Amino acid sequence: MADPAQVAGVISDFRTAHRIPHRVSCRALGVSESWFYKHRTRRPTRREVRRQQLAEAVQEEFTDSGGTYGSPKIWIRLVRQGWRVSVNTVAKLMAGSV
């Protein structure tokens, strides 16, 4: 599923721009109305923010290496920058599964 904040924004935009009720948009997108009301004002947690920053750092290191470094080498470079992260987490981020 896409980013919850984006989905909630789309539902809100449908109501504003096209006068489509939230109920109809939620049904069309396969989410409940309660889910929409929960996520429409939700802010990312510190954990989610940190994970996004880590993913960006991993991507930057991979790009800087010309696409040649694997997770062990990128992990070493991140630890030297001060990140507290496991090599397995770096590998999962690189695989796109996190």
- The answer on 80 and 61 residing in a single domain is yes
- The answer on 35 and 16 residing in a single domain is yes
Structural domain boundaries enclosing 61: 46-95
pLDDT at 6: 84
Q: What is the pLDDT of residues 30-76, one digit of tens each?
A: 999 999 998 888 888 899 899 999 999 999 999 999 999 999 999 99
- The answer on 82 and 55 residing in a single domain is yes
Neighbours of 57 (CB within 10 A): 18
- The answer on 70 and 32 residing in a single domain is no
- The answer on 32 and 52 residing in a single domain is no
Give the side-chain half-sphere CA count within 13 A for 93: 25
Of the candidates 33, 12, 8, 14, the residue with the CA atom closest to the CA atom of residue 23? 33
Given a cut of 60, is residue 97 above it in pLDDT? no
